[in-house]
Amino acid sequence: MFEGQPKGLYALALANTGERFGYYTMLSIFVLFLMDNFGMSPSTAGNIYAAFLALVYFLPFIGGILADKFGYGRMVTIGIVGMFVGYVLLALPMGTSTVGLVAMGAALLVISTGTGLFKGNLQVMVGNLYDNPAYASKRDSAFSIFYMAINIGALFAPTAAVEIMKYAQNNLGVSENDSYHFAFAVACVSLIVSMLIYYGFRRTFKHVEGGKVQASSKSEQGQVEELPREETYQRIVALCLVFAVVIFFWMAFHQNGLTLTYFAKQYTARSSEGLESMMFSVWNLVAVIFIVYALFQLFQSKTDRGKAISGIVILAAVVFLIYQYTGIAGSTPVDAPIFQQFNPFFVVALTPVSMAIFGSLARKGKEPSAPRKIGLGMLVAACGYVLMLLASVSLLTPNEQTAAIEAGSASFVSPNWLVSTYLVLTFAELLLSPMGISFVSKVAPPKYKGMMMGGWFVATAIGNYLTSVASWLWGDLPLWVVWGTLMVLCLLAALFIFSVMKRLEKVA
C-alpha cells in the first residue's frame, strides 16, 4: 500500500491533512457557536451550516474550471490564502451584533471559496502523479492513503477545539462565547502548517501543477474513445440516477455536525467512567489504529524483521492503553463536539479492513459491483438511524429537554449510542463514497469526465444543503420524527437504486 509511491503523494497528503484539521476544528463547534454566540435557534443554525457545506462542495466545480485555464497549483495557492483569511475573520471576536454577523458571513464565503479552489484541484494533482506509467498501478492505493490523510486531520480536530476552549476559559479568563474564537484560531495555525508543507516539498510535485492536461502527441489525442450517442446518453442517465441517490446519503451522513451534535449536547451523558471513558481520548484511539495497522503488517510481512517491528508496535500500543486505563481516576468529561472524532477514527482504522474484505471477495469473483455497494451503503446508513430511534425511546422533545435541563430534572443516555451510530455510518461511507467516485470515473463518457465529476460534487452540495431539513424538525416534535425521516429517506434511496440496478450494472 505504501511501497513504491511517488514522494509528491505524501507532500500533497500532508498538506491536505493540515487543511482538513483546520476545517474540521471549525466545523466541530460551528453550530454550537452560532447558537451560543448569536442566540440562533437550531433550525436557523442548521440552515447556515447547510448552506456553508453546500458551497464548500459546489465551488470545487467552479475551481476546477478555473484550474483548467490558470493551473492547479495557482488555484491551490490562492485557495490556501483565502481559507486563512476566512479563519482569521472567525478568530477575531467581533461580538454578537450586526458587525459580528456580517464578519461571520464574510468568513464563511471566503472559506468556502478558498476550499473550492483548494479541495478538488489538490486531488487532481494527486491523480496527475499517476499519469506516469511507472506509478499507474499504484493509483487506487494512493487515493486510499490520501483519504486516510484527510481523516487523520479530522480525527484530532474535535479534541483540539474542545481543549483550546477549555484552556481559554480556565487559564485566560475568557467567556465561553469568546473561547470559540480561540478554537477558530487553531484553524489559522493549521493553514500556515499546510502552506509550509506545500511549499517546502513543492519540488516533488511541481511537474503536475500545470493547467490543462495536454496530450503528448496528436496520436495520443486520437486515442480518446468516442462513444456512440446512444451509449453516451445511457451512461449520463446512469450517473444522474446515482447522483440522485447520493444526495440523500450526504443529507443523512452530514448530520454529524448538526442534529447528532444537538443530540450530543442535549441528551448524552456529560461524563463517562471506567473503560468506556478511554474512547474519549484521541491518543487512545491513535493507539488502537497502530494496533490495527501493525496486525495487518504482522501477517502480511514477508521478513522476520518486519514481523518483529510489527510485534513491538503492537506491544507498545497495548502497554500504553493499559497504562492509560490504570491512570483513570473518577469520571471523564464528555463534550458534545468530541463525538465528531469517531467517524474519522473509524475510517482510518477500518480502511485496511474493508480493503482486505473486498480484495478477498474480488479474488473469489464475488465482489459486489460499485452500484450494488452504493445501494448497500444506503441500507447501512438507514441502520444507523434505527440505532438513533432506539436511543431516543421515551426521551423528551428537544424543547422539553431544554426546559428539563434548566430545571435540573433532565435524564441522559449513554454515549455508546452515538458512538455506535458513527460506527454504522462509517461503514456506509466506506461502501458508498469511494465507490461512487470510482463509478463516476469509470462510467463517465470520455468527453464529459470533468462535467460528470463536477456532477458528483454538485450532488454532494445539494445533499449537504438538505441536511437543514432535519434541523427544521428539531424542537417541538418527538425525536423519532427526526431520525425516522432520515431513516425512511435512506431506505427509499436504497429501494430506488436497487430498482434500477440492472441499468446501472449494464454500463458499469
pLDDT tens per residue, range 193-233: 999 999 999 888 888 887 544 444 333 334 545 778 888 88
CA distance 147 to 53: 19
**pLDDT attached to residue 474:** 93
Asked whether residue 415 carries a pLDDT value surpassing 70, the answer given is yes
For residue 478, pLDDT over 90 is answered with: yes
pLDDT band at 3 (very low <50, low <70, confident <90, very high): low
Fold agreement between 6-202 and 229-270+341-508: yes
By mean pLDDT, which of 341-345, 361-365, 411-415 is the weakest? 361-365
d(CA 34, CA 28): 12
**Structure confidence at residue 503 as a pLDDT band (50, 70, 90):** confident
Please give the average per-residue pLDDT across 17-38, as a whole number: 90
Q: What is residue 366's predicted lDDT score, i.e. its pLDDT?
A: 86
Lowest mean pLDDT among 54-58, 331-335, 397-401, 451-455: 451-455
pLDDT tens track for 283-299: 999 999 999 999 988 88
Q: What is the CATH number assigned to the segment(s) 229-270+341-508?
A: 1.20.1250.20
* pLDDT score at 470: 92
3-state secondary structure of 271: strand
Nearest to 274 by CA among 319, 346, 327, 317: 327
Residue 258, pLDDT > 80, answer yes
Across the range 181-197, mean pLDDT stands at 91
**What's the CA gap between 292 and 494, in Å, rounded?**
31
**At 36, which amino acid appears?**
D
Q: Where are the alpha helices (DSSP H) in 172-226?
A: 176-200, 218-221
Q: How many CA atoms lie within 13 A of 286 on its CB side?
A: 12
Kindly report the backbone phi and psi dihedral angles of residue 5, in degrees, each rounded to the nearest multiple of 5, phi listed first: -85, 150
Q: Which helix (H) or strand (E) holds 23?
A: helix 7-38
Classify the C-alpha dihedral 282-257-196-437 as positive or negative.
positive
Domain boundaries, the chain: 6-202, 229-270+341-508, 273-332
Q: Which residues lie across from 413 on neighbouring strands? A: 268
* Strand ranges inside 215-346, DSSP E: 271-273, 331-333
Give the closest residue to 342 by CA, choosing from 24, 52, 50, 22.
Answer: 24
SS3 11: helix
**Architecture of the domain whose range is 6-202:** Up-down Bundle (1.20)
Q: If we measure between CA atoms, which residue out of 242, 231, 240 comes closest to residue 445?
A: 231
pLDDT tens readout for residues 152-173:
888 899 899 989 999 999 998 8
